[in-house]
Amino acid sequence: MLCQECGERQAEVVLTTVINGESTTRHLCRECVKKYKAGDLQSILAAVLSAMAEKKQTPDLTCPRCGETYQEFQKTGMLGCAECYSAFRKELTPLITRVQGRAQHAGRRPPVSEEEQARQSQIETLRFQMEAAVAEENFEEAARLRDALRALTPAKEEKA
Amino acid sequence: MNSIVVSSRVRLARNYEDLPFRGKITPEQCDECVNRTLDALRDLPDAYTYLPMEGMEENEKKALMESHLISPDLLKNEEGAAVLVRGDEKIAVMMNEEDHLRIQAFCPGDNLPEAARNAFAIEDALQSKLSFAFDSQLGYLTACPTNTGTGMRASVMLHLPMLTLFKQMGKVGQLAAKVGLTIRGIYGEGSEAQGNLYQLSNQVTLGRTEEELTQAVAATARQMAEMESVFRQRAWEKDKVGFEDQVYRSFGLLTNARRMTVKEFMVHWSSLRLGAAMEMLPVSWETCDHLLTAAQPAHVLKAAGAALEEKEADAFRTQIVRRAIQGGN
């Protein structure tokens, strides 16, 4: 039997990992088993993904932006684009929590540009005005404000 | 400390928001990744060299790898793969690796904070003009979901000959695992042939701040250095002559041999570094660390400036070694 990790060398070791009570058995060569022993997260993820694929736990999902399917991700452990994280979020979050232990970023964040700051404060103002217009039952004005708001908000953000 | 911690390195994985990741990117988008990166970094104060992998000589690529400026992964995809290297080789920005960017900063000795500052300075320069893929929950988004969050790997290279000799590396590994770190050998197979060099780095990248990660690595590295010191002392007290014999034999071979394979070199290099760190030899550990890279196969060929047969290269290696030890650089 060939190693399930590299697919090149002969598998000599059977490695069973238990993560959150779910056991995964993999046949590996001596080289690849070292990676697992070293706790290489990428290898651990690969093990979890291939165990899911074997059990036919493959959700039918496709990233709308790059066309990557969940099945492809299960095979390669690689995502196609930033949007895949949104498309597969429900499946990815528990996986990431499993390998990382935590699921909330605590580090550095990108700076917010002046342009973005201006846009955000304009959105807030428009929302406030729109709510006031609705309260005053001035629906014509509210509709105008809603359209102005839409023009400032990308489709994705609006849904959220 | 610097007698045991050889060097510090910080690596940041970053991707542009609007470009697909490695698996889905087109050649045109690879070029775009390179162009916008170079453009955004044009105004950096220091001199940088741009090195595309396409068309580069094999030996040159290997030499960059020996210097840790590029990774083996960068060579997997020649399309658009490139590196931007600062003149002093302390900063390297890989483009079109597994992620669009791998920003790396290196420092000699135990100095992760400075390596981190240098890496963040590059990130800041890029982020002032460009947007990286970022999610408020998962942090910086990466092609492989095991790197999300900080996208940071902080690592130190440790020289642990006595912990290796006294078979303590298993324990050392457990100590690292307990605090979420990993330690592995570098430079090929077998701990002796590796020069008893190990790399300690963080495993998890999400849910901790960059400072927490670098501090965890630095603190554990110091703990390991302390353990190594204890075993050096113990070995010295137990058999001073044996200790000296090993160091001076290696010194003798390195300064007199006329042909040496890299494997043999690494074995003696380890004793040389140990002797230098314990101030037993007229060699500084800086010289040792310079030699570590200079005597690797691709660097030897590069210094020779010609294609050499294996035996000729092994002979030329000894010239490089003698020159460095005697010249003191």
Asked if residue B283 lies in contact with residue B254, where contact means CB atoms within 8 angstroms, the answer is: no
Q: Which of A45, A78, A106 sits opposite B208 (nearest CB)?
A: A106
User: Which residue from A minimizes the CA distance to B213?
Assistant: A107
Alpha-carbon span A63 to A80, nearest angstrom: 8
Asked if residue B143 lies in contact with residue B43, where contact means CB atoms within 8 angstroms, the answer is: no
How many alpha carbons lie under 13 Å from residue B75 in its C-beta half-sphere?
16
Kindly tell me if the per-residue pLDDT of A159 is higher than 70: no
Chain A nearest-CA distance from B97, in A, is 13
CB contact under 8 A, B208 and A111: no
Report which listed range, A20-24, A109-113, A114-118, A142-146, is most confident: A142-146
CB contact under 8 A, A106 and B209: yes
Residues of chain B with C-beta less than 8 angstroms from the C-beta of A102: 204, 206-208
Residue indicated by tokens 């002979």: B315
Q: Which long-range contacts (CB under 8 A, 24 or more apart) does B306-311 make?
A: B311/B259
What are the pLDDT digits (tens) for B12-62?
A: 999 999 999 999 999 999 999 999 999 999 989 899 999 999 999 999 999
Chain A nearest-CA distance from B2, in A, is 25
Partners of B92 in beta bridges: B85, B104
For residue A156, what pLDDT is reported? 47
Asked if residue B118 lies in contact with residue B105, where contact means CB atoms within 8 angstroms, the answer is: yes
Segment B267-295 shows an average pLDDT of 94
Partners of A10 in beta bridges: A2
Alpha-carbon span B108 to B86, nearest angstrom: 15
- Per-residue confidence band for B276, with pLDDT thresholds at 50, 70 and 90: very high
Structure tokens at B165: 């000799």
Kindly tell me if the per-residue pLDDT of B328 is higher than 70: no
DSSP assignment of B238-298: H-HHHHHHHHHHHHHHHHH-S---HHHHHHHHHHHHHHHHTT-SSS-HHHHHHHHHHTSHH
User: Which residue from A minimizes the CA distance to B183?
Assistant: A38
- Per-residue confidence band for A5, with pLDDT thresholds at 50, 70 and 90: confident
For residue A35, what pLDDT is reported? 64
Kindly tell me if the per-residue pLDDT of B199 is higher than 50: yes
Structure tokens at B250: 């290696």
Report percent pLDDT > 70 for chain B.
97
| Chain A touched by B215 (CB under 8 Å) | no
Alpha-carbon span B152 to B133, nearest angstrom: 15
Best residue in A108, A109, A113, A119 for a mutation probing chain B (most B CBs within 10 Å): A108
Rounded to the nearest 5 degrees, what angle is found at the Cα of A144, between the Cα atoms of A140 and A147? 140
CB contact under 8 A, B24 and A92: no
Helix (H, G, I), strand (E, B) or coil at B82: strand
Please tell me the least confidently modeled range out of B115-129, B173-187, B246-260: B173-187
Segment B135-143 shows an average pLDDT of 95
- Per-residue confidence band for B190, with pLDDT thresholds at 50, 70 and 90: low
Residues of chain B with C-beta less than 8 angstroms from the C-beta of A6: none
Where does residue B180 rank: exposed (0-12), middle (13-18), buried (19+ CB within 10 A)?
Answer: middle
Helices (H), B90-239: 112-127, 161-165, 169-178, 210-238
How many alpha carbons lie under 13 Å from residue B252 in its C-beta half-sphere?
6
Helix (H, G, I), strand (E, B) or coil at B201: strand
Please tell me the least confidently modeled range out of B6-15, B30-39, B67-76, B219-228: B67-76
User: Which residue from B minimizes the CA distance to A65?
Assistant: B20
Residues of chain A with C-beta less than 8 angstroms from the C-beta of B149: 100, 105-107
Alpha-carbon span B56 to B42, nearest angstrom: 23
Kindly tell me if the per-residue pLDDT of A92 is higher than 50: yes
Structure tokens at B177: 């695992």
- Other CB atoms within a 10 A radius of the CB of residue B114 amount to 16
What are the pLDDT digits (tens) for B257-275?
A: 999 999 999 999 999 999 9
Q: Which of A79, A92, A105 sits opposite B149 (nearest CB)?
A: A105
Torsion of CA B291, B292, B295, B297, to 10 degrees: -160
Structure tokens at A27: 């046949």
B283: Cβ contacts below 8 Å, ≥ 6 apart: B251, B272, B275, B276, B325, B328
Residue type, B148: T
CB contact under 8 A, A103 and B21: no
Report which listed range, A98-107, B79-88, B193-202, is most confident: B79-88
- Angstrom CA distances, B221 to B8, B37, B110, B147, stand at 10, 33, 9, 22
Kindly tell me if the per-residue pLDDT of A94 is higher than 60: yes
For residue A62, what pLDDT is reported? 95
| Chain B touched by A154 (CB under 8 Å) | no
- Per-residue confidence band for A21, with pLDDT thresholds at 50, 70 and 90: low
Q: Which of A82, A106, A111 sits opposite B133 (nearest CB)?
A: A82
Report percent pLDDT > 90 for chain A.
36
The chain-wide mean pLDDT, for chain B, equals 93
| Chain A touched by B185 (CB under 8 Å) | no
CB contact under 8 A, B207 and A42: no
Write out the H or E segment, with its range, that includes residue B140: strand B139-140
- Per-residue confidence band for A157, with pLDDT thresholds at 50, 70 and 90: very low
CB contact under 8 A, A99 and B143: no
Question: Which B-chain residues 35-64 have CB contacts (< 8 A) with chain A?
Answer: none
Alpha-carbon span B288 to A47, nearest angstrom: 40
